[in-house]
Amino acid sequence: MAETKRTVMLKGKPLTLLGPEIKVGQKAPNFRLLATDSTEVALSQSEGKVRLLSVVHSLDTNVCDLQTQRFEEEAARFKDVVIYAISMDLPFAQARYCGAHNISNLITLSDHRDASFGTAYGVLIEELRLLSRAIFIIDRDDTVRYVEYVPEVTQPPDYDKAIETLKKIVD
């Protein structure tokens, strides 16, 4: 894993992000993550669809829970968009979370196995081996159309800006 010069804050403490900074206009890196049933899911499996990647630290933290609940609501409205909530949580913990919170419109995915998503998308926090909060929107042609790296992990993303961008892409 190549260390970058980028950092993210966690309660005011700087932490190192590993991997490249994804930019709008570039092709989205493929990934292989685990679903709640431990089957492998790749970005290429949703080819031809618009995808929103909601990256969270852990589903069992307040801001991550709120972020996942918000995108669960949005997933019900955007039927032709695939929304993934991605974390380092184990698949069985994600399954428990989904059941406890009636998550049925978005798909939770785990990067715990090899952190390949975290390093490909530049969201792996070296010191914690957790993912930093971020939003990525990928269009039907696998081009990245929106990126938000949230600078303070304990803060939510800009939901309105992400949803506004999503509406423009889907229309």
Q: Are 101 and 68 in contact (CB under 8 A)?
A: yes
Question: One of 55, 56, 64, 147 is an active-site residue; which one?
Answer: 64
64 as an active site residue: the answer is: yes
Tens of pLDDT along 7-22? 999 999 999 999 999 9
| Global pTM value | 0.95
- pLDDT score of 2: 47
Q: Could you tell me the CA-to-CA distances from 122 to 78, 117, 133, 170 in Å, in that order? A: 27, 8, 11, 26
Tens of pLDDT along 109-126? 999 999 999 999 999 999
Residue 20's Cβ-count burial label (10 Å; 0-12, 13-18, 19+) is: middle
Tens of pLDDT along 18-50? 999 999 999 999 999 999 999 999 999 999 999
